[in-house]
Amino acid sequence: MVPGDYFFPGLDKPVAAHPPVVMRMNYVPDPQKIEAGVKILAEEVEFAWREQEA
């Protein structure tokens, strides 16, 4: 996973609020690796929500 900011090089002011809220996941041809990566991402999102509620 890579923050979206890196995909807007050279812009002094990014287009709206898009870059800070975007993440990019590189394509991996092996479906098991994609599934494992999405699972890790889901766990991190759940952790962030729980931490915010505390």
* Long-range pairs of 9-18 with CB within 8 A, sequence gap ≥ 24: none
5-11 mean pLDDT: 63
Inform me whether the pLDDT recorded for 8 exceeds 80: no
Predicted confidence (pLDDT) per residue in 18-49, tens digit: 556 666 666 667 889 888 888 998 999 999 99
Q: Please name the residues in contact with 5: beta carbons below 8 A apart, sequence gap of 6 or more.
A: 14, 19, 20
Question: Domain residues of the chain, as ranges?
Answer: 2-53
**pLDDT of the residue at 33:** 84
**pLDDT of the residue at 12:** 65
CA distances from 15 to 18, 22, 25, 29, 42 (A): 6, 12, 20, 31, 27
Comparing 42 with 4, the larger pLDDT belongs to 42
pTM attached to this predicted model:
0.52
